[in-house]
Structure 1
């Protein structure tokens, strides 16, 4: 077989390449070289301590929605009493930390609705679906309601930064 040449095959004296090129590649076992997910962003405080903080890589400011200063009206579509209790618990916490904005009210209502549904399922002896749990986990992370996500969420400072180029007017 070493002397027979077939289309698409490489044949050598050592007979190392008696398979088509793609068959050689896919015949090798795959090695997992780490996680398929990227590492989470390192908090700025840890970057300062380790000496890797750089001004050109700091997170830029984003759109500023107006803060909610008065207790917002609870949506009437919250599904159950668990969701209503979660709304009444979270709104004062988020307002005190200046994390509740006009743009975040509907997301907070969805968060409370998901919480109510999950608690209702657990009370009935059932488990929530993975999709429901993932939605809930993403929303509580967005609002900074887990220990890890608290370092990622920045409270609204309330003052605008001064433009460093304003003194060089033309």
Structure 2
């Protein structure tokens, strides 16, 4: 078990998590999470709209949005806690997080089939890949802001 005192973050500037970049990231995560909850609450109503695009979005949102959030949270919160804040600037860590997320979402689909909770849905896999890719693009666009703020 990891103790808070043993984290590498202790030896770095703790103010990084209260920086402007992290505050903006917190707003993004909160906004996406609220959007996800609204979709989940009103999902049945979305199906009744009889629009194929909205129905498709309602079907894949449970994979699209969490895959996006897991990638962002993993890269900007979990990796810095485990490996130090300097790892945010390394692209190798994001590819590892992406691979783990892809494996997890494939396993979730497989578990649905094995335990007869649902059927294999290629749209869910594609939505997960799109969420991971979108988070990766955001990571590569914003990582320089985090590295610059940390090195001040």
Q: TM-score, normalised by structure 2?
A: 0.28
**Structure with more contact order per residue of length (Cα contacts < 8 Å, sep ≥ 6):** 2
**Bigger share in helix:** 2
